[in-house]
Amino acid sequence: MSNLTIDAERLWDSLMETARFGARPDGGIARLTLSEEDRQVRDWLAAQCRALGLEMVVDEAGNMFATRPGTAGDLPAIAMGSHLDTQPTGGKFDGVLGVLAGLEVLRTLDAAGYRTEAPLMLVNWTNEEGSRFSPAMLGSGIWAGVYGREYGDGRLDVGGDSFGASLDRIGYRGAAKAGSVGFGAMFELHIEQGPILEAEGAQIGVVLGIQGMRWFELVLTGLAAHSGSTPMALRRNALLGMARVIEGVDRIARAHEDAVGTIGFLDVAPNSHNVIPGEVRATIDLRHPSDAVLDRMQARIEELVCEVAEAAGLEYRLQRISGTAPVVFDAECIASVRAAAKAAGHATRDIVSGAGHDAAHAAARAPTTMIFVPSKDGLSHNPAESTRPEECAAGAQVLLETVLDYDRRMAEARRGEVGRGHGA
């Protein structure tokens, strides 16, 4: 373990400072992707990176990459980061902790005059939450080639505003082509967003992978009609059909061990108290560690929607709008996290992430893993979301030591390759 120590108070102050952007009266944050509040926090981050002399590159999806040079010119960068956008009723730690902990690592190294052999990179991914523009993890997905720029630009929020127009409006459409900025490894520190670490008294979650996730958009269309003069037997009530789908999604998820299924978004039209709903749009979120189980759940959902629509006299459109396969993280990256946590004396717990993260897309292009710290009462996507200052500091310290350990491993591997080349 190095003798470098992150500044816990500085990290906490940065967390509280960024919480001003989009602050809610209840103590939470509403900092939706590509909003004015998102622009403000991006400008803040860019200013902090300039103060450290980092080279900032922004790509065409708005992803931000700030690089600190290493001493070896032939090593790829080691990336750290997460996201700055929040849910409409978000908290102070989801995503932003990973970005600011990465910033704190760079500040600590800068203050000590310490240079890694590999360059270090700080990343802010665009639209991880998917709360304004679906799908989630859109920026990292465009970077990884899962989605094209045109697809991303065309995503609409509920008001009809597009991702592309919003990106241009806040001035964060970068010149770099999506995917042109690469790195050799990625480490994402994040709050757990669940109750396991707190319940078991573990300070650090060693994340082995991420369960698979599939998002669908469902539109049920009936007939808007007067609620007082339309007999029950002659109604084509789209909301009634959606209610049956909601109950069915819950039932299907409960029938598969370790599965979760959720409908968390509804858009009802015309949404008037004396009009039978004529159209309802919803998103369906299915998650499981196995693709085979997700296949079975999807097939059952498709059957359910068809059955409900036929029984209620509705038309329907069910479209899969995103999906990430279950991810197994890189063994060597995980080994660096284990070594760092052990050296720091922190109790660890192996864990598979139930939530989706940008690390899932990063893992498709580079060795990747995550580090979890506890979430009080398991709460996230909630203004009451809370992680204690000492827990944030522990995560940032493990991130620092992890990056240094991985840097050493990369440098040793490079020297070994050079040595073998000379021996030939």
- Please list the residues that pair with 80 across neighbouring strands: 122, 187
Distance of alpha carbon 179 from alpha carbon 74, whole angstroms:
20
Output the pLDDT for position 36: 98
Average pLDDT over residues 82-97: 97
Is the distance from CB of 135 to CB of 214 less than 8 angstroms? no
Output the pLDDT for position 2: 80
Output the pLDDT for position 419: 64
Output the pLDDT for position 423: 54
- Please list the residues that pair with 120 across neighbouring strands: 68, 78
The string of pLDDT tens digits covering residues 163-202 is 999 999 999 999 999 999 999 999 999 999 999 999 999 9
User: Predicted confidence band at 421 (pLDDT cuts at 50, 70, 90)?
Assistant: low
Looking at 243-401, which runs of residues are DSSP E strands?
260-269, 275-276, 279-288, 315-324, 327-328, 348-353, 368-373
User: Predicted confidence band at 73 (pLDDT cuts at 50, 70, 90)?
Assistant: confident
Token pair listed for 95? 């995503």
- For the whole model, what pTM was predicted? 0.84
pLDDT beyond 80 at 400: yes
Phi and psi (nearest 5°) for 318?
-115, 120
Q: 36-51 and 8-18 helices cross at what angle (nearest 10)?
A: 150
Output the pLDDT for position 220: 98
Domain 8-211+326-423: give its CATH superfamily.
Answer: Zn peptidases (3.40.630.10)
With 0-12 / 13-18 / 19 or more C-beta atoms within 10 angstroms meaning exposed / middle / buried, residue 113 is exposed
Q: Do domains 8-211+326-423 and 212-323 have the same CATH topology?
A: no
Token pair listed for 366? 């580079």
Q: SS3 for 37?
A: helix
CB atoms < 10 A from the CB of 201, how many? 9
Q: How far apart are the first and last CA of the chain?
A: 35
Average pLDDT over residues 310-337: 95
Output the pLDDT for position 414: 84
Q: Which residue has the tokens 């949404």?
A: 271
Angstrom distances, CA of residue 141 to CA of 125, 126, 176, 237, 359: 10, 10, 15, 36, 10
Average pLDDT over residues 142-148: 96
Rounded mean pLDDT of the chain?
96
Each domain of the chain, given as residue ranges in start order, spans 8-211+326-423, 212-323
Query: 212-323, what's its fold?
Result: Alpha-Beta Plaits (3.30.70)
Distance of alpha carbon 239 from alpha carbon 271, whole angstroms:
10
Is the distance from CB of 105 to CB of 396 less than 8 angstroms? yes
Q: 8-18 and 389-423 helices cross at what angle (nearest 10)?
A: 110
Distance of alpha carbon 39 from alpha carbon 273, whole angstroms:
37
